[in-house]
Amino acid sequence: MDIGLNSSVTGISQAFKDHAARADRISRAAEHEDLAKDMVGQIEDSAIVKANVAVIKTHDEMLGSLLDLFS
């Protein structure tokens, strides 16, 4: 696995972990001090996942094109 692909997978994994932690804090809203920050953070986590998925798709397309050139 190359660096760009590995970085994207790591980014997705971290975004899922962050999203789960924020969801847990949001579910305990009565004792939570900064609800808005975690809600915005969940939107950011979603954007991070989408961006990293786009990188992986582009990587896959480029690799496919490269293989087409050399076959």
> DSSP string of 1-45?
--HHHHHHHHHHHHHHHHHHHHHHHHHTGGG-S-HHHHHHHHHHH
- The reported pLDDT for the residue numbered 32 is 66
pLDDT in tens, 4-57: 788 999 999 999 999 999 999 888 876 667 888 999 999 999 999 999 999 999
Predicted pLDDT of residue 30: 66
